[in-house]
Chain A
Amino acid sequence: MSSLTSLTAGTLNESSVGDYIQLLKPRVMSLVVFTGWVGLMLAPGYIHPFIAFVSVLCIALGAGAAGAINMWYDRDIDAIMSRTQYRPLPAGKISPQDALTFGVVLSVISTWIMLTLVGWVPALLLAISILFYVFVYTMYLKRATPQNIVIGGAAGALPPMIGWACVSGDISWASFCLFLIIFMWTPPHFWALALYRHEDYAKAGVPMLPVTHGIRSTQWHILVYTLMMVPVTFLPYFLGFLGTIYLSCSLILGAGMIFLSLKTMAKHYEKSAKQLFVYSIFYLFLLFLAMVGEKLL
C-alpha cells in the first residue's frame, strides 16, 4: 500500500473517509453542483428524475475528481500556504499516489456514466471541464501567469452548460450565457481572495495578480471586471429566456457586487476584500437561484 510513501510533510498519518471527502473540495463542489442543477432545470425538454439525479451526481464526481487531482499536483505549494496547509496531502493524511488514483478513477467513472446513461454532449463537456482544469489551469496557468484564474475560470463555468446539455443534448446561446456569467464572475471572486491572501501566494510563488502587478492594479481589475460582468448577467433577460423577476434580482445583486468592489478600492482593503469574496459566493448562488425561481413561477 502507498502508506509507505514518504511525504514532504513527514510520515503518512491514518486517513479517514472525511479526508477523501475533503480531497473532493466539497465547498467548491457545492457551487458547481448547484449551477449544474440550475442549467438542468432551465433547459427546454424533459428529463427522467433518475437521469437528472445521475447527471448531477456525475457533475459532482467530475468536479470532485478534478479537485483531487489539483490537490495532488499542488501539494508542494499547498504545504507552504497557510490557507491550504491542512489539506489531506500536505497534512500527510493521504499519500500523493492514493490521491491521484482516486482523482483519475473518479474522473473516468463520472465521464463514463455520463456517456452511457445521459448522452455524449454532456459527457464531452464534462471531460473537457476536467481536462481543462487539470492540464490547462492546474499544471500550466496557475504557476505561469497572472491571467491564471481569468482563463482557468472556463473550467468552473462549464457545469451549467453540462446540466443544460443533459436535458437538451445540445449547446445553445442560453446555456452559453450561463457559462459566460460564471466565467466573468471568477476573476473578481478569486482576486478578492488573492488580495487579502497575497502574502501567502507570494510565499508559494504563485503569480496571482496582487503578487505580480500589485494591490492597486488588482483593485482596479476587480472593479472593471465587475462592471463588465454585471451587464452580462442581464443577458438571459434580453435573450428572452428569463423574465423581470430574474432581471430585478440580477440588478439588486449586481449593485451589491459593484458597491463592494468600490469599497475594496480603499487603502485599508483587507476587510472589504473578505466581504467581497464571501458576498460573491452568495451572489452567484442567489443569481442562479433567481433563474430557477423565475422558471418555476
Chain B
Amino acid sequence: MKPSPSTSRRSKNRALLYVLLAAVAVFYAVSWIRTGDSLRMGQSISRFPVDHATK
C-alpha cells in the first residue's frame, strides 16, 4: 500500500532530524577532540599552547 503524502512527509522530516542530529553529534565530537583538552587540578592555563596574555 502507498503511504499517504502526509505520512511520507513526516517520515522525511524525521529522517532530516536524525541526519541533523548525527551531524551535530559528529561536529561536537570533533570539536571536543580538537579543543577539549582538560586541565588537571593545580595546572594553570599556561599549559595551553597559546600565549594567552598577548594573542
Contact = CB atoms under 8 A, between A and B. Distances in A.
Interface stretch (A12-20, A80-88, A233-241): A233-241
A44 interface: no
Contacts, number: 73
B1 interface: no
Interface residues on B, range: 20 to 34
A143 B24 contact: no
A213 B45 CA distance: 11
Given A143-B39, A146-B36, A184 B24 contact: yes
A145 interface: yes
Interface in A202-236: 202, 205-207, 209-215, 217, 221, 224, 228, 231-232, 235
Contacts of B14: 239
Nearest to A140: B38
A145 B36 contact: yes
Interface residues of A, number: 32
Interface in B16-55: 16-17, 20-21, 23-24, 27-28, 31-32, 35-39, 44-45, 48-50, 52-53, 55
Nearest to A227: B27
B45 A232 contact: no
A202 B53 CA distance: 7
A50 interface: no
B35 A231 contact: no
The binding surface of chain B is classed by DSSP as helix
A207 B45 contact: yes
A213 B53 contact: no
Interface in A112-168: 143-147, 150
The binding surface of chain A is classed by DSSP as helix
B8 interface: no
A205 B20 CA distance: 35
Given A145-B39, A214-B55, A232 B13 contact: no
B20 A212 contact: no
A211 B48 contact: yes
Contacts of B23: 228
Contacts of B39: 143-145, 207
Contact of B50 (A214, A224, A239): A214
A292 to B, nearest CB: 22
A100 B43 CA distance: 26
A69 interface: no
B16 A238 contact: yes
B24 A212 contact: no
Given A207-B39, A215-B55, A228-B27, A238 B13 contact: yes
Interface of B: 10, 13-14, 16-17, 20-21, 23-24, 27-28, 31-32, 35-39, 44-45, 48-50, 52-53, 55
Query: Shortest 3 CB-CB distances between A and B: which pairs?
Result: A212-B48, A202-B52, A211-B52
19 contacts: A145-B36, A150-B32, A180-B21, A180-B24, A199-B53, A202-B45, A202-B52, A205-B45, A207-B48, A211-B48, A211-B50, A213-B35, A221-B35, A228-B23, A235-B17, A238-B17, A239-B13, A239-B14, A239-B17
